[in-house]
Amino acid sequence: MAPFNCELIDLRALVAVADGKSFLRAADLLNLSQPALSRRIQKLEAAIGTPLLERTTRRVGLTPAGQEILPLLKRLLEEMDSSLLGIIALGERQSGRLTVASIPSATVRFLPDVLERFAQEYRGVRVRILDLSATECAEAVRRGEAELGITLPVIADNDVIFEPLADDPYGLVCRRDDPLAALADPAWSDLIGQRLVTVHLGSGNRTALEAGLARAGIELRWFYEVTRLASAIALVQAGLGPSVLPRLACEGPEARDLVWRPLKGAEINRTIGVLRRPGATLSPAANRLLALLGEAWGKARPGTAPPGHE
């Protein structure tokens, strides 16, 4: 018996013509010219040794042999496509590297659990975390150094798009021996006249806080100013004064001896989300991580005190 000599595109050609009952529609679907499509059908018929299509001036139909072979070809193509997709997906899970830029508070709060789940599916994908400020996260995404940025909103432009995930409330953070910690329901007004610790005006956290204070008509006295949230927490730990910080920033181990409390009188939040380049196609690994982040944020309870804090 002579070997069966045809290509996958020949099989797809017959299926497309049979399903669409039109050479024109099938040619468009397969991105072929009609003469090229006809040659594919003829090649398949020659390999099988019998006509598979009947053509009239008004319609295209299957011959009895074509009707018999069509279900077999469809099943063959479906199984082959499924197997190839599985091989491709397996390869994507077994190798590669994913780089993510993240603000420190999101890194501490959400990434460990998310990455643990991610590693179960993409065991061979190495993950690189760039622990950066909000501004630095945006630049890393713009330059292509990171596929995703877990960060605060940036000024709108054509280089990046921001997709919000959740709001993170600002509240009082102080030592347990601070008189403010003894208040049943601390309010923004209780902070007036306090020697407060804050981060510098150029940071995304300070920008979000000042915008919220302006909307609420609240004026506070910033006495100590630092560059990063971790430094603000350190100054509070040292007893230099209380601060107003996002809830997530106070969930790391460096703040475990402090008290974080919501403040009455106005709700002020920062928005945390994902930053990416609009024209760039995310890798399958990045898409999966993005989905896991959405699930993690959905399980969070915005506005409540973090574990281990009052």
Is 240's pLDDT higher than 90? yes
CA 98, 137, 106, 251 torsion-angle sign = positive
- Looking at residue 27, its pLDDT comes to 86
Instruction: For residue range 253-294, list pLDDT tens digits in order.
Output: 777 789 999 999 889 999 888 998 887 888 888 888 988 888
Is 119's pLDDT higher than 60? yes
Instruction: Give the domain range for residue 80.
Output: 8-93
**Which of 29, 106, 17 is CA-nearest to residue 60?**
17
Does residue 51 share a domain with residue 107?
Answer: no
182 alpha carbon, distance to own chain's centre: 40
155 alpha carbon, distance to own chain's centre: 19
Is 304's pLDDT higher than 60? no
Is 310's pLDDT higher than 60? no
Contacts of 49 (CB under 8 A, 6+ apart): none
Is 154's pLDDT higher than 60? yes
Domain final residue, candidates 50, 77, 93: 93
DSSP state for residue 263 in the 8-state scheme = -
Q: Does an H or E element contain 163, and which?
A: strand 161-175
Is 304 part of a structural domain of the chain? Answer: no
Q: How far apart (Å, rounded) are the C-alpha atoms in residues 54 and 9?
A: 20
Is 307's pLDDT higher than 50? no
Instruction: For residue range 62-100, list pLDDT tens digits in order.
Output: 888 888 888 888 888 887 776 666 555 555 555 578 899
Does residue 145 share a domain with residue 51?
Answer: no
Does residue 175 share a domain with residue 151?
Answer: yes
Does residue 134 share a domain with residue 44?
Answer: no
Does residue 252 share a domain with residue 140?
Answer: yes
Q: Helix (H, G, I), strand (E, B), or coil: what is residue 270?
A: strand
- What domain count does the chain have? 2
Tokens 């599916």 locate to 121
Instruction: For residue range 8-58, list pLDDT tens digits in order.
Output: 888 888 888 888 888 888 888 888 888 888 888 888 888 888 888 887 767
